[in-house]
Amino acid sequence: MQDLTDIYYFVQVVELGSFTDASKALGVAKSQLSFRVARLEASLGVRLIQRTTRRSHVSEIGRRYYEQCRLLLAAAEQTQRVIDDAQAAPRGRIHVACPVLFAQLLLAPILVDFLRQHPDVQIDLDICHHQVDVIAGGYDIAFRVRDSIKDSSLIMRSYGMDPQMLVASPDLLRRQGQPLQPIDLKRLSSVGVINADGRHFWHLQASDGRTQQIEHHPSLVSDDLQVLYQAVIGGVGMAQLPQFVCHGPIAEGRLIPLLPAWSLPAGNVHAVYPSRHGHTPALRSFIEFVAQHMPQVLRRTQLGVLAENVQPVVQESLLAG
């Protein structure tokens, strides 16, 4: 195995045209350069640079060897950069997209802890009321809750499944009746998430494996979870909402779960980003930090235990509109 320093000196001599010029550029004695190149030649068993008392020139095999050495040094530099990046302290800006309730109930406590530990990182958090185009929007990472992932061009990091619930306000149930069976859902007003084909279904499964698919016709559709939440609280219609959103309002009697013997497909809590490679130390640290802490936050919210003071603030903002 040849010494990379010997190879580097050889490449510099070739590119700068002479031992004299390479010596001046590198700050290395000409005799030292000559010794290192001669040692490289001896290890290879070939003459790379032909020398006379007045001039030197690169041999044909030396020219071909030089081209390969350039590639080798470039690869070695890239390898060192990987180590340097890994050891570098996270710093710089991260551009994040996130739905409003996800940010308030799940991401906020994680962001606080992350920024305390990494004071040289800045986060631009865009609260998005629709599913953003991560690449076109210039985002480093976006958080979502979906029952399926359709964009194969993005890398996904999943943090767990969040159960979904069918809920309605007491006022709506007083006016339209409490459903006892899935078919009863047809008589209830509803609100729902926008989808491409314009049709809306509740996909229900009983504990014994039976399934029911109930079509409904929402009076309001939106890709903003906060809007749907407020519509349900206000008695506009029933809806399918994440369990972490419903715990507090159910405990306070402002929402009532429907058909508890039937379950809905869980939402996948995940992040998406454009590539597995080329992450800055700041982004790489953030991705790993969220992956470490998000499952714990999800478990807490599913048990109805939110971070101190978060739930009252969120509910106040929702009611204030």
pLDDT tens string 168-196? 999 999 999 999 999 999 999 999 988 87
Tens-place pLDDT, residues 205-214: 998 889 999 9
- Looking at the structure, tell me whether residues 75 and 224 fall in a common domain: no
> Is residue 138 in some structural domain?
yes
Task: Give the DSSP letter of residue 98.
Answer: E
> Is residue 107 in some structural domain?
yes
- Looking at the structure, tell me whether residues 277 and 141 fall in a common domain: yes
Which of 265, 283, 316 represents a domain boundary (last residue)? 265
Question: How far is Cα 219 from Cα 192, in angstroms, rounded to an integer?
Answer: 8
Question: How far is Cα 220 from Cα 229, in angstroms, rounded to an integer?
Answer: 11
Tens-place pLDDT, residues 191-205: 998 887 889 999 999
CA distances to 184, 197, 211 from 218, in Å: 15, 14, 21
3-class SS string, 206-245? ECCCCEEEEEECCCEEECCHHHHHHHHHCCCCEEEEEHHH
Q: Is 181 helix (H, G, I), strand (E, B) or coil?
A: coil
Nearest to 238 by CA among 195, 298, 175: 175
- For residue 127, the model assigns a pLDDT of 87
> Is residue 28 in some structural domain?
yes
- Looking at the structure, tell me whether residues 174 and 156 fall in a common domain: no
Tokens of 141: 């990472």
CA distances to 151, 222, 229, 270 from 196, in Å: 14, 12, 21, 21
Tens-place pLDDT, residues 284-297: 899 999 999 988 88
Q: What is the pTM of this model?
A: 0.56
pLDDT average, residue stretch 95-112: 88
Q: C-alpha angle with apex 126: 273 to 164, nearest 5 degrees?
A: 75
When pLDDT is cut at 50, 70 and 90, the band that residue 148 belongs to is low
- For residue 11, the model assigns a pLDDT of 92
Tens-place pLDDT, residues 19-63: 888 888 888 888 888 999 999 999 999 999 988 767 788 999 999
Whichever domain contains 215, its CATH number is 3.40.190.290
- Looking at the structure, tell me whether residues 100 and 58 fall in a common domain: no
Count of domains forming the chain: 3
Segments forming the whole domain that contains residue 108: 94-160+268-299
Nearest to 123 by CA among 287, 307, 270: 287
